[in-house]
Amino acid sequence: MIALARKYRPKRFADLVAQDHVAAALRGAVAQNRAAHGYLFAGPRGVGKTTAARILAMALNCERRTDAGEPCGVCGSCTRIWVGAADLDVVELDAASNRGVDDARDLRERAMYAASTEARFKVYIVDEAHMLTREAWNALLKVLEEPPPRVVFVFATTEPQKIVQSAAPILSRLQRFDFRRIGPHAIVARLKEVIAAEGGGLAAADDALHLIAKSAGGGMRDALSVLDQVLSFGEGPVTVARVREVLGLIADDIYGEMLRLVTERDPPAVFALVDRLMEAGADLGEFVSGAGETLRAVLLAGLGGEPAGLTEGLQELVRRYAPRLAPPDVVRLLTVLSEAEGQIRSSGNDGADGGARGGDRGVERRRTGGPADRRTESSGRLGASRCSAVFAYQSGRPAVRPSARARPAHPRSPARPVAAGRCRRACAESDARRASGRHGGGLRR
pLDDT at 397 over 70: no
* 310 and 297 Cβ atoms separated by less than 8 Å: yes
CA-to-CA separations, 275 to 125, 140, 269, 335, 358, in angstroms, rounded? 50, 57, 10, 23, 12
Q: How confident is the model at residue 47 (pLDDT cuts 50, 70, 90)?
A: very high
> CA-CA distance, 175 to 29, in Å (whole number)?
12
* 314 and 255 Cβ atoms separated by less than 8 Å: yes
Q: How confident is the model at residue 376 (pLDDT cuts 50, 70, 90)?
A: very low
- Give, for 176, the enclosing helix (H) or strand (E): strand 175-178
- Give, for 332, the enclosing helix (H) or strand (E): helix 327-347
4-178 has which CATH code?
3.40.50.300
DSSP 341-400: HHHHHHH-HHHHHHHHH-S-HHHHHHHHT-GGGHHHHHHHHHHHHHHHHHHHHHHT----
pLDDT at 419 over 60: no
Residue 395 phi, psi dihedral angles, 5° rounding: -100, -5
> CA-CA distance, 133 to 99, in Å (whole number)?
6
Q: Where are the domains of the chain?
A: 4-178, 184-247, 276-369, 388-398+413-445
Q: What is the 3-state secondary structure (H, E, C) of 14-67?
A: HHCCCCHHHHHHHHHHHHCCCCCCEEEEECCCCCCHHHHHHHHHHHHHCCCCCC
Q: Which residues on adjacent β-strands are paired with residue 231? A: none
Per-residue model confidence (pLDDT) at position 240? 87
pLDDT at 43 over 90: yes
pLDDT at 338 over 60: yes
Q: How confident is the model at residue 374 (pLDDT cuts 50, 70, 90)?
A: very low
Read off the pLDDT of residues 88-113 as tens digits, 9 standing for 90 and up: 788 888 888 888 888 888 888 888 88
Per-residue model confidence (pLDDT) at position 245? 85
> CA-CA distance, 404 to 427, in Å (whole number)?
22
pLDDT at 53 over 90: yes
> CA-CA distance, 406 to 400, in Å (whole number)?
5
Q: What is the mean pLDDT of residues 35-49?
A: 92
Q: How confident is the model at residue 41 (pLDDT cuts 50, 70, 90)?
A: very high
pLDDT at 154 over 90: yes
Q: Is 433 or 125 the better-scoring residue by pLDDT?
A: 125
> CA-CA distance, 295 to 316, in Å (whole number)?
13
**For the chain, what percent of residues have pLDDT higher than 70?**
77
> CA-CA distance, 304 to 40, in Å (whole number)?
44
Per-residue model confidence (pLDDT) at position 365? 36
Q: Which residues on adjacent β-strands are paired with residue 124? A: 91, 153
Residue 71 phi, psi dihedral angles, 5° rounding: -75, 155
Domains 4-178 and 184-247 share a fold: no
Q: What is the mean pLDDT of residues 191-202?
A: 87
Q: What is the mean pLDDT of the chain?
A: 78
Read off the pLDDT of residues 288-298 as tens digits, 9 standing for 90 and up: 888 888 899 99
> CA-CA distance, 333 to 338, in Å (whole number)?
9
Read off the pLDDT of residues 245-278 as tens digits, 9 standing for 90 and up: 888 888 888 888 889 888 888 888 888 888 888 8
Q: What is the mean pLDDT of residues 407-427?
A: 50
Q: Is 439 or 21 the better-scoring residue by pLDDT?
A: 21
Determine if the pTM surpasses 0.85: no
Residue 345: CB partners within 8 Å, gap ≥ 6? 285
Give the CATH number of domain 184-247; options: 1.10.3720.10, 3.40.50.1980, 1.10.8.60, 3.30.70.20: 1.10.8.60
